[in-house]
């Protein structure tokens, strides 16, 4: 059986860029090195946080 191909939702670690690996490290820092599932609530909270930062820097 061949391994499953990587997708945008489950990329192979070797395929990540330096910046993507930094984001993974950042998320680990935010979650105290736990592994929470990406629930809708968590995704929306992260999007709000990133959007508010973008809005502050736009002016």
pLDDT of residue 56: 64
Angle at 31 between CA 44 and CA 25, to 5 degrees: 100
pLDDT of residue 12: 78
pLDDT tens figures, 1-59: 556 556 667 777 788 899 988 988 888 898 898 888 889 998 999 899 889 766 665 55
pLDDT of residue 18: 92
Give the rounded distance of the alpha carbon of 11 from its chain centre.
12
């Amino acid at each position: 059986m061949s391994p499953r191909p990587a997708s945008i939702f489950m990329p192979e670690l070797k395929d990540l860029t330096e910046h993507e690996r930094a984001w993974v490290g950042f998320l680990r820092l935010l979650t105290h090195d736990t592994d929470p599932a990406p629930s809708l609530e968590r995704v929306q909270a992260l999007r709000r946080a990133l959007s508010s930062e973008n809005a502050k820097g736009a002016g």
